[in-house]
Structure 1
Amino acid sequence: MQLAPLYPIVYKILQPLFPSCLWAGTSESRTIALTFDDGPHPQYTIELLQVLDHYNIKASFFWLGACVERAPSVAQAVYQRDHWIGLHGYYHHSFPLLSPEALQQSLAKTQEAIRAALATATDDTKACYFDPDNIRDVRPPNGLFTPQTLSLLHQWNYRPVMWSVVPEDWERPGIDVVVQRVLRQVRNGSLIVLHDGYYGGPDVAETTAQLIPRLLQQGYDFITIDQLWQRSPV
């Protein structure tokens, strides 16, 4: 059962209830953030990077620690292009089902996997505004969290990141369907979620290749999660 039509309603309900999360940027600026979950993937992420390179777009990636360890060279490729990086947990386990100790360990292991993967990634041309040793942005898998989850994330100095546009691409309803869902929902400040992992990843490069030029034609500028925080009402 596809839930895509419900996500805009869920967003409108949850966003005012949990204002300490980043749900979107300011509506006064024609800027949006393109984000990708569940990677890095040795094929799908590389194909996606080619599209982002072509349009010179900076995106944000929320990684699973286990995937980083399987594809460290892909993690380096993302980092060397100055894309923003956040945590998605070590495995794709729902945060509310984990004990506080297990959740903290999952995030720490993911941070360590990223640090190890990027340790040899050096490039003097990088902007160097991203610190791989201090990743603060966290997106809960499946968008599931509780007030306790958020309290723990804040206690550990993480920044919870959610979404405002979720086209449910992991169900692979078809590239055209995903593109149209995004175009119908996008607004100033939108935070768009796509997936470059095992679910949704086979279509992500083509989906992104169709979305970017249409969004550019509508006058949107693409920014990273860090920049969206700076322009957010949070």
Structure 2
Amino acid sequence: MITRPRRATASCALGVALASLVSLAACGTAAVPRPARPAPSAPAPAPSRPPTLAPGPAGVTPVFENGPRRASDKTVALTFDADMTADQGPRAAAGERFDNPRLISTLRALRVPATVFMTGRWAEEYPAQARSIGHDPLFEVANHSYSHYAFTAGCYGLPSVSGDRMRADVERAYDAFRAAGVPDAMPYFRFPGGCYDRQALKALTPAGVTAVQWDVVGGDAFATDADAVARQVLEGVRPGSVVVLHCTRSAAPATERAVRAIVPGLRAQGYRFVKVSELIAAAALSPSRPSAAPPATRTPGTG
């Protein structure tokens, strides 16, 4: 007989408990909701590839000399060749300076973007400077060969690289940049002395580089008159120009002083300084720029 009241009591207790749960659920406090499953993260965007020009006819290496000539966008790229040939190690050991840290400091102080065309031998000799330039977003490092030997015969007295070694020389320079700690050197190549022919362009096709020349010769190689160098640049620049100068203290001692006159002079004319990559990107998008065969031979100046 006593089991029924117990059942009734248990039933009442269960009913109260259920009622309480219903009441709590109605207030939204019955249970902690399951945390929402996080949405799948979007894949990281692929790093953008540096701009290059399309190969010329028969797939030969394209050649770039200047950007679009737009008066509405007066851009200019200052480029500096960090030259050191493969056989100049003894001269460096004897105290000759093939670097120019003061020039790099001046470009930083003036906030001037620039492209440094570096030889692999230079990067080996000055790895800390190469690494510092390569990590500075103000600059970009491009390839000026490993050895600074000419890619044609009769190029300002430079020793020459044989046709079957040209690509290897360029790739050896990229290896030297990586060894020095330079990240992401650009796929741009400047022929030593600016000298090339169709054989050289064909030899470099597998390297996938754009050959970068210039349309304004700074004239700083072996010059001592900084004012004359500055005048030559200021008078020669047009929208889209690429200026060739040097980052070699012993062979171009007036360059840093010239730059201190060039930069304010061009800014006063309304010019904006950019890296070569920006000019190439603009040229690649320009409908008026044909992918034509480059000239068969070019020896425009020193580089």
What TM bracket, shorter-length normalisation?
A: 0.7 to 0.9
In the TM superposition, residue 38 of structure 1 has moved relative to its aligned partner by 2.5
2:79 aligned residue: 35
After alignment, is 102-111 or 43-52 more displaced?
43-52
Answer yes or no: is 1:107 the counterpart of 2:162.
no
In the TM superposition, residue 203 of structure 1 has moved relative to its aligned partner by 1.7
Compute the RMSD of aligned alpha carbons: 2.2
Answer yes or no: is 1:25 the counterpart of 2:67.
yes
In the TM superposition, residue 216 of structure 1 has moved relative to its aligned partner by 0.7
Larger helix fraction of residues = 1
Q: Which fold has the larger relative contact order, with Cα–Cα distance below 8 Å and residues 6 or more apart in sequence?
A: 1
Other structure's SS at 1:95 match:
coil
Question: Which 5+ residue runs of structure 1 have no aligned equivalent?
Answer: 1-17, 120-129
Q: How does 1:41-80 map to 2 (within 5 A)?
A: 44-80=99-135
- Hey, what's the Cα distance between the residues in 2 that align with 1:197 and 1:43? 5
**Which protein has the larger Cα radius of gyration, Structure 1 or Structure 2?**
2
Other structure's SS at 1:201 match:
coil
Q: What are the Cα deviations for residues 155-191 of structure 1, in whole angstroms up to 9, with x where unaligned?
A: 3211100000002210315111111111111100000
Task: Kindly tell me the number of residue pairs found equivalent between the two proteins.
Answer: 205
Alpha-carbon distance change, 19 to 137 in structure 1, aligned in 2, over 3 angstroms:
closer
TM-score normalised by length of structure 2: 0.63
Alpha-carbon distance change, 189 to 114 in structure 1, aligned in 2, over 3 angstroms:
same
Alpha-carbon distance change, 49 to 173 in structure 1, aligned in 2, over 3 angstroms:
closer
- Hey, what's the Cα distance between the residues in 2 that align with 1:199 and 1:90? 19
Q: What are the Cα deviations for residues 30-80 of structure 1, in whole angstroms up to 9, with x where unaligned?
A: 101000003489674311121111111110000111111010000111112
**Partner of residue 188 from structure 2, selected from 134, 137, 144:** 137
List, as ranges, runs of 4+ consecutive aligned residues in structure 1 with deviation greater than 4 Å.
39-44
1:14 aligned residue: none
Question: Which 5+ residue runs of structure 2 have no aligned equivalent?
Answer: 1-59, 85-95, 153-159, 284-288, 292-303
- Hey, what's the Cα distance between the residues in 1 that align with 2:187 and 2:66? 17
- Hey, what's the Cα distance between the residues in 1 that align with 2:97 and 2:134? 14
Other structure's SS at 1:68 match:
helix
Q: Percent identity?
A: 27
Answer yes or no: is 1:98 the counterpart of 2:140.
no
**Partner of residue 201 from structure 2, selected from 136, 150, 163:** 150
TM-score normalised by length of structure 1: 0.81
- Hey, what's the Cα distance between the residues in 2 that align with 1:131 and 1:64? 15
In the TM superposition, residue 136 of structure 1 has moved relative to its aligned partner by 1.2
